[in-house]
Amino acid sequence: MKAHIAVLPGDGIGPEVTAEAVRALRALEKRHGHTFTLTELPFGGAAIDLTGNPLPEPTLETCLRADAVLLGAIGGPKWSAPEAKVRPEQGLLGLRRALGVYANLRPVKVHPALLGASSLKSEVLQGVDLIFVRELTGGIYFGEKRREADSATDVCTYTVAEIERIVRCAARLAQQRRRKLVSIDKSNVLETSRLWRQVTSRVMREEFPDVSLEHMLVDAAAMHLIRRPRDFDVLVTENMFGDILTDEASMLAGSLGLLPSASLGEGTRGLYEPIHGSAPDIAGRGIANPYGTLLSAALLLRHSLGLTAEADALEAAVSAAISAGALTPDVAGAAAAGAVSTREAAEAVLARL
């Protein structure tokens, strides 16, 4: 098949890990006879330095024409001063809104070879296989913001339609898995959460009676993710809660560097990125974990391009590389072998493709 993929390396370790995902896509392209047009574009802090805008118009236009977007990471101390008027994160929020990608899927699966990489006991982690569905274009991140001399305000707003569509997305995923959905809110305090709980209950009762629904307060969910993570299947929640809880859940797998994400809308085009940040403290050292980005590329192949066999092959190659002990420093403590570099980890994956 022919496909156009916009590649946004971004900042920090973003270019390093994205380069390895591009190499994997090229390998699959050659092996399976596809034609991938990969267009690299400035985004985030790098784009601010070039143009003054974290999301330059040519970058946005290309992303809107592409079949999928692959993103590395953005941000860093250079652009994070409290008084800064332009920030890399503004570009990311703008891109999500422009693409209409309201559903962020973050799978968390604990690899048997990495049970020792987490700070939790291995018996708690065995068999953990869950997926977060985070609402991505509403809530406090997109609400009205005001800053005055002695106060600041961030408004959190959700509509019925926004809640309905994300709950339907999560419920359809649950139907393909263990038919268990946990909806996370803060309905004992927040009016938006009361609406969230009411709408979720109605949608599940009327449209997905075959999926069991459990409501859980966000603080309880944070606790139970550590106490009994194996009990969870699909979890759906609003934007800020999802942002925080998925970083917590990444520690079940052992490292932020291991986990991918897919941000999807109504069509097939999606935005794919590892859940980790730009990690400026290790940028340029060649030790960043590329697996989250490689697995994000697999999600891209599956959800946007419909290339299930290729996605399965890439995921299997990553799993095999981990099993063989090709581990970067963030997780190498779990193995007897020494740590490998970003490139060496990716080479281990390519060898298994």
> If residue 203 lies in a helix (H) or strand (E), which one and from where to where?
helix 191-207
Residues linked to residue 213 through DSSP beta bridges, in sequence order: 181
Q: What pLDDT does 337 receive? A: 59
For the chain, helix, strand, coil in percent to 5 are 45, 20, 35
Statement: residue 334 has pLDDT above 90: no
- Between CA 230 and CA 260 the distance in angstroms is 19
pLDDT tens digits, 8-49 = 999 999 999 999 999 999 999 999 999 999 999 999 999 999
Residue reference for tokens 């995921």: 315
219 is catalytic: yes
Exactly one of 11, 102, 141, 158 is catalytic; name it.
141
Exactly one of 67, 185, 233, 243 is catalytic; name it.
243
Statement: residue 335 has pLDDT above 80: no
Exactly one of 11, 67, 185, 186 is catalytic; name it.
186
User: What type of residue is 335?
Assistant: A
Q: What pLDDT does 56 receive? A: 98
* Pair 274, 259: CB distance under 8 Å: yes
158 is catalytic: no
Q: Which of 141-145, 167-171, 304-308 has the least mean pLDDT?
A: 141-145
Secondary structure of 302-348 as H, E, C letters? HHCCCCHHHHHHHHHHHHHHHHCCCCCCCCHHHCCCCCCCHHHHHHH
* Pair 238, 185: CB distance under 8 Å: yes
Mean pLDDT value across the chain? 96
Statement: residue 336 has pLDDT above 60: no
Q: What pLDDT does 82 receive? A: 82
Which residues fall within 8 angstroms of residue 307, CB to CB, at 6 or more apart? 1, 28, 32, 34, 301
CATH of range 1-114+265-353; options 3.40.109.10, 3.40.50.300, 3.30.420.40, 3.40.718.10: 3.40.718.10
In terms of residues, how long is the chain?
353
The domain 119-253 having CATH identifier 3.20.20.70: the answer here is no
Q: What pLDDT does 84 receive? A: 87
243 is catalytic: yes
What does the block give as tokens for 60?
């946005």
Each residue of 214-229: b (16+ CB within 10 Å) or e? ebbbbeebbeebeeeb
* Pair 133, 177: CB distance under 8 Å: no
Statement: residue 112 has pLDDT above 70: yes
Mean pLDDT of 128-132: 97
User: What type of residue is 232?
Assistant: F
109 is catalytic: no
pLDDT tens digits, 234-293 = 999 999 999 999 999 988 999 999 999 999 999 999 999 999 999 999 999 999 999 999
Give ranges for CATH 3.40.718.10 in the chain: 1-114+265-353, 119-253
Residues linked to residue 2 through DSSP beta bridges, in sequence order: 35
Mean pLDDT of 67-90: 94
| Backbone phi, psi, residue 223, to 5° | -70, -45
**Strand, coil or helix: what is 68?**
strand
Statement: residue 233 has pLDDT above 70: yes
Exactly one of 49, 219, 281, 312 is catalytic; name it.
219
247 is catalytic: yes
